[in-house]
Amino acid sequence: TSMLQPLRGSRSDSRIATVTKSDSSPVTIGDFAAQGVVLSKLSETYPFDAFIAEERSDSLRADADLSAQVLMAASAGGMDRGDVEGLWRSIDLGHSYDADGNTADGETKKRVWCLDPIDGTKGFLRGKLDGGQYCIALALLEDGIPTIGILGCPNLPTYADDDRFAWEDDEDDQGVQTTRGCLFVATKDGGAYQLDMNMSHCERLNVTPNDGVTRTVSSARFCIGVEKSFNDPLGQTDRIAEILHGPGALDNEGEIVISRRIDSQAKFGVLARGGAEVYLRLPKAGYREWVWDLAAGSVVITEAGGEITDVYGNPLDFSLGAKLPASHRGVIGSNGGKFHRK
C-alpha cells in the first residue's frame, strides 16, 4: 500500500483509482488489494475461521479495468490467486454481514478475524507530503473478545517523540526506511510491541504513566482525528480540552494546542508508545461503530497499559457481529488511571 499512496493529492495521480461507496466514503485499489491479500492468506492458514472486513467486490465485478488494476496490486503484494474471480472471492470472504452489521447466521464461530484493509482512506488519498496517515488494521476476536491486534502504519514516524506526520519534501521511499514505518502487535495478556517494517527491531510499549505525576492531567496530549465533521460534529472534544487545559486550550483557529491530529487507528499506536494520553471519538448520536474501526487498536492500547471504553465507562462489546451495540455512545481511549476517570 505504501508504494500506491501518492505523494500529494491522489486526484491528480493516475495510479490511484477511487470509487465512492453508498455512504459517500472513498475506496481505492489499495483497499481492495490489501483485503484480497490478507484474507487469502488468512483463509489458507485458518480455513475454519470466520472473517469480517470492510470492502466487497461489487464495484470490481462491474469494472474490468479496475479489477485488473487491483489484481496487479494484489499480486505484487503476494496474493497467489492469480485471476480476477479468485480476487473477488478473497475479498468477499469478509462480507458475511448485512447493512446493520448482523452476520448471516448469527456468527457462531469462536474465532473471527476482522480487517480494515486501509483504515484512514482519506488520509491515504491526502498523500504523504500532506500528512496522510493510514494503517492496515487486523484483529482476532475469540468469543467476541479481541485477543490479537495488529496495526501496520507505513507513514508513522518510528520514534514516539517525532510528530512529523507529513513527509518532508526531500524524503522518499528508500530514505524513510529507518525513520518511518511501524508495526504494532499486541496479544491479550501478552503485551504490546512496536516493530519496524523490516521486523528487525522490537520494543515493548508502555503508555505514559497515569499517576498524574510524570505528566499532569492538565497537560494531557490529545490524539484526535483529522476529520472533525465525523469524529466530533458537535465540537465536544474542544470543550473537554478547555476543561482540562484551561484558558488558552485552543489556538486562534480553534484547534487544540496540546494535540496531535492524525488519521486512522495509528492514533492507538501513538498512545500505546507514550506519544499522547487522550483519544476521543464522538460521532453523531445513533451512529454504531464497525468492529474493524476499533478492535485492533483496542488490544494495542490496553496491552500497553491504557484503557478504552465508551463515554459511560462501559467496556466495548465486540460480540454482536460487525457492529458494536447501539447502547455504546462514543469512544474514549487513554493511558488509564486518573486520565481516564477525569
Buried b / exposed e over 202-218, threshold 16 CB at 10 Å, is: eeebbbbbbeeeebebe
121 catalytic? Reply is yes
Q: Are 34 and 117 in contact (CB under 8 A)?
A: yes
Helix (H) or strand (E) holding 301: helix 295-303
Nearest in space to 265 (alpha carbons), one of 293, 234, 237: 293
Q: Are 6 and 47 in contact (CB under 8 A)?
A: no
Beta strand 307-309 with 331-334 is: antiparallel
Share in percent of the chain as helix, strand, coil (round to 5): 30, 25, 50
- Out of 1, 28, 92, 121, which one is annotated catalytic? 121
Cell numbers for 323: 457492529
Beta strand 18-20 with 26-28 is: antiparallel
Chain centroid offset of residue 219 CA: 25
Nearest in space to 296 (alpha carbons), one of 122, 130, 115: 115
φ and ψ at 267, to 5 degrees?
Answer: -60, -35
Beta strand 191-196 with 202-204 is: antiparallel
Residue 42 CA to residue 111 CA, distance in Å, equals 12
105 catalytic? Reply is no
- Out of 31, 116, 232, 238, which one is annotated catalytic? 31
| Contact partners, residue 108, CB within 8 Å, separation at least 6 | none
Q: Which residues are catalytic, by number? A: 31, 121
